[in-house]
């Protein structure tokens, strides 16, 4: 679809991304999903085309990128129909921004080049077994002891949690509430850190873990920002994370649409192709309508962000719009495929299993509605 927001530079990067996904991910997506992981070598390959560095400071190996370049990256990755690969491969986009924004210069210089080159893996650890989006009430404790913090507690549902080399961890250094929350960079080989791999409904190729911190000693220089400022830094992450999820979900919906169209033209029932049955044509039009509306909303919000606006309410609504579109299109695609849609191996089946993680991750639909209503003054 033509759009006035994309330049020749965006189109050139789209071509690079398309070739990368077509060669390095799509042929292996089913195999990696069944195996429950993908090769670490993929990180270096992604770094080589500039994917990992998008939007990070150039002095650390990053590449200047606007909102539309990030949309291109997210939506081309989605063409493989492998959300687990996308989630873990890009976990640094939520784990490393706080480092780039607020860590000490020597920490940034040591960590970011390793992550952006694909040598090391970065993850964000906020959610706890006793609470998801309620960041202000997290319980993992970091007690100052000389030139170290001693960290005890648990985090769960952590994307790339199994093999992350660097963990950006939300901890409580002070009293109750948001003012007592800080961020620490904890290295993966820290004594006292253990990890439990989790089995999931979808995103099988993405390693997801519960992290256990048993009196882990973390150098005080690994504090990201100031003590008690962690909540603010975490909140700064959310707009970007939700826009990224919205871009991906809209693209996953389009993948379902495209796969359903191709199958409906090929599959014959009652003496004619599925696509010649009115009910199937109507399903496909409904899917296409929702995808087009979601893409238009996404691009308009990206433009507003480029104008330095902060449309928080609309971004929350965008996240819900995209995940609902993905859910609708995945369901309809599987229905159009019939029995074949229930078999593992096609993109629509894989995407159907991944609907709920997107509706939950980054804030549930209910939380998005509550945040949006508050921004609207309700």
Q: What is the pLDDT of residue 236?
A: 86
Q: Does 298 score more than 70 pLDDT?
A: yes
Please state whether the predicted TM-score (pTM) of the whole model is above 0.85: yes
Q: What is the pLDDT of residue 131?
A: 74
What confidence tens digit (pLDDT) does each residue in 199-228 have? 999 999 999 999 999 999 999 999 999 999
Q: Specify whether the CB–CB gap between 72 and 14 falls below 8 A.
A: yes
Any idea which residues carry the catalytic annotation? 241
User: Interior CA angle at 89 toward 35 and 159, to 5°?
Assistant: 75
Q: What is the pLDDT of residue 52?
A: 98
What confidence tens digit (pLDDT) does each residue in 36-73 have? 999 999 999 999 999 999 999 999 999 999 999 999 99
CA distances in angstroms from 275 to 111, 232, 313, 337, 352, listed in the order given: 52, 51, 39, 12, 21
**Quick one: 332 exposed, middle or buried, by C-beta within 10 A (0-12, 13-18, 19+)?**
buried
Query: What residues have CB less than 8 Å from 117, skipping those under 6 apart?
Result: 44, 47, 52, 61
Give CA–CA dist 86/341, Å, rounded.
22
What confidence tens digit (pLDDT) does each residue in 326-376 have? 999 999 999 999 999 999 989 999 999 999 999 999 999 999 999 999 999
Closest CA to 284 of 332, 347, 323, 222: 332
Q: What is the pLDDT of residue 1?
A: 65
């Amino acid at each position: 679809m033509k759009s006035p927001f994309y330049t020749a530079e965006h189109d050139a990067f789209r071509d690079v991304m398309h070739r990368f996904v077509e060669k390095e991910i799509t042929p292996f997506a089913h195999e990696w999903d069944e195996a429950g992981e993908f090769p670490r070598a993929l990180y270096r390959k992604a770094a080589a085309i500039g994917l990992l560095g998008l939007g990070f400071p150039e002095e650390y190996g990053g590449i200047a990128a606007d909102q539309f370049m990030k949309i291109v990256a997210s939506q081309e990755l989605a063409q493989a129909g492998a959300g687990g690969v996308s989630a873990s491969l890009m976990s640094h986009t939520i784990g490393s921004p706080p480092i780039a924004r607020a860590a000490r210069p020597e920490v940034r210089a040591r960590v970011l080049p390793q992550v952006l080159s694909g040598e090391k893996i970065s993850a964000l650890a906020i959610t706890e077994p006793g609470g998801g989006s309620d960041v202000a009430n997290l319980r993992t404790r970091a007690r100052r002891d000389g030139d170290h913090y001693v960290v005890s507690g648990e985090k769960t549902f952590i994307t790339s949690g199994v093999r992350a080399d660097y963990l950006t961890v939300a901890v409580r250094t002070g009293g109750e509430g948001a003012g007592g929350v800080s961020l620490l960079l904890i290295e993966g080989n820290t004594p006292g850190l253990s990890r439990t791999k989790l089995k999931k409904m979808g995103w099988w190729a993405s390693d997801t873990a519960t992290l256990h911190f048993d009196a882990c000693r973390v150098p005080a220089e690994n504090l990201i920002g100031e003590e008690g400022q962690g909540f603010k830094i975490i909140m700064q992450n959310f707009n970007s994370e939700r826009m990224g999820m919205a871009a991906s979900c809209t693209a996953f919906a389009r993948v379902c649409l495209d796969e359903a169209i191709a199958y409906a033209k090929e599959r014959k029932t009652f003496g004619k192709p599925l696509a010649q049955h009115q009910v199937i044509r109507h399903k496909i039009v409904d899917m296409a309508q929702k995808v087009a509306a979601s893409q238009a909303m996404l691009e308009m919000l990206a433009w507003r962000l480029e104008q330095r606006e902060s449309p928080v309410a609309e971004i929350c609504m965008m996240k819900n719009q995209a995940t609902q579109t993905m859910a609708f299109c995945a369901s309809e695609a599987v229905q159009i495929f019939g029995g074949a849609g229930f078999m593992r191996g096609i993109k629509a089946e894989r995407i159907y299993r991944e609907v709920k993680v997107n509706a939950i991750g980054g804030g549930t639909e209910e939380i998005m509605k509550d945040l949006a209503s508050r921004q609207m003054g309700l």
